[in-house]
Amino acid sequence: LLSKTAGFSPDCIMDDAINILQNEKSHQVLAQLLDTLLAIGTKLPENQAIQMRLVDVACKHLSDTSHGVRNKCLQLLGNLGSLEKSVTKDGEGLAVRDVQKIIGDYFSDQDPRVRTAAIKAMLQLHERGLKLHQTIYNQACKLLSDDYEQVRSAAVQLIWVVSQLYPESIVPIPSSNEEIRLVDDAFGKICHMVSDGSWVVRVQAAKLLGSMEQVSSHFLEQTLDKKLMSDLRRKRTAHERAKELYSSGEFSSGRKWGDDAPKEEIDTGAVNLIESGACGAFVHGLEDEMYEVRIAAVEALCMLAQSSPSFAEKCLDFLVDMFNDEIEEVRLQSIHTMRKISNNITLREDQLDTVLAVLEDSSRDIREALHELLCCTNVSTKEGIHLALVELLKNLTKYPTDRDSIWKCLKFLGSRHPTLVLPLVPELLSTHPFFDTAEPDMDDPAYIAVLVLIFNAAKTCPTMPALFSDHTFRHYAYLRDSLSHLVPALRVYSGQAQPFKLPGLLNPLIPQTLQFWFLFLMLLKPVQQCQHCSQIIPSGTMPTSETVFLILFLP
Per-residue pLDDT of 3-60, as tens digits, reads 555 555 666 667 667 777 777 778 788 888 888 788 877 777 777 787 788 888 888 8
pLDDT digits (tens, 9 = 90+) for 502-547: 344 444 444 445 445 555 555 554 444 444 554 544 544 445 555 5
CB within 8 A of 526, min separation 6: which ones?
A: none
The answer to whether 408 and 375 are in contact (CB under 8 A) is yes
For residues 136 and 182, give the distance between their C-alpha atoms in angstroms, rounded to a whole number: 12
Angstrom distance (rounded) from CA 377 to CA 365: 18
Written as one letter, the residue type at 422 is: L
- In this structure, the number of other CB atoms found within 10 A of the CB of residue 483 comes to 16
CA contacts within 13 A on the Cβ side of 541: 11
Nearest CA to 449 out of 479, 427, 423 is that of 479
- 116 and 156 Cβ atoms separated by less than 8 Å: no
Point out the least confidently predicted range of 44-53, 123-132, 414-423, 444-453.
44-53
Top CATH class, 1-133:
mainly alpha
370 with 352: CB under 8 angstroms? no
Q: What is the mean pLDDT of residues 241-269?
A: 53
**DSSP 8-class letter at 172:** E
Is 111 a residue whose pLDDT tops 60? yes
Does 1-133 match 162-230+273-342 in CATH topology?
no
User: Domain map of the chain by residue range?
Assistant: 1-133, 162-230+273-342, 346-499, 512-552
Tell me whether residue 393 is exposed, middle or buried, using C-beta atoms within 10 angstroms of its C-beta: 0 to 12, 13 to 18, 19 or more. Answer: middle
Whether pTM > 0.75 for this model: the answer is: no
pLDDT tens, 469-482?
A: 888 898 999 999 99
Which candidate, 130, 191, 106, places its Cα nearest to that of 156?
A: 191
pLDDT above 80: residue 431: no
Using the Cα atoms of residue 443, residue 446, residue 449 and residue 450 in order, give the sign of their dihedral.
negative
For 330-353, letters b (16+ CB in 10 Å) and e give: bbbbbbebbbebbebbebbeebbe
Closest by CA to 40, choosing from 23, 57, 61, is: 57
Is the Cα dihedral 19, 20, 21, 22 positive or negative?
positive
162-230+273-342: which CATH number, 3.30.70.360, 3.30.429.10, 2.40.160.40, 1.25.10.10?
A: 1.25.10.10
Q: Rounding to the nearest 10 degrees, give the CA dihedral for residues 265, 267, 273, 277.
A: 80
When pLDDT is cut at 50, 70 and 90, the band that residue 96 belongs to is: very low
Q: Does the structure show a pLDDT above 90 at 370?
A: yes
Alpha-carbon distances, residue 343 vs 214, 308, 442 (angstroms): 21, 11, 35
**Residue 298 pLDDT more than 90?**
yes
**3-class state of residue 267 by DSSP:** coil
Higher-pLDDT residue of 500 and 110 is 110
Which has more confidence, 169 or 91? 169
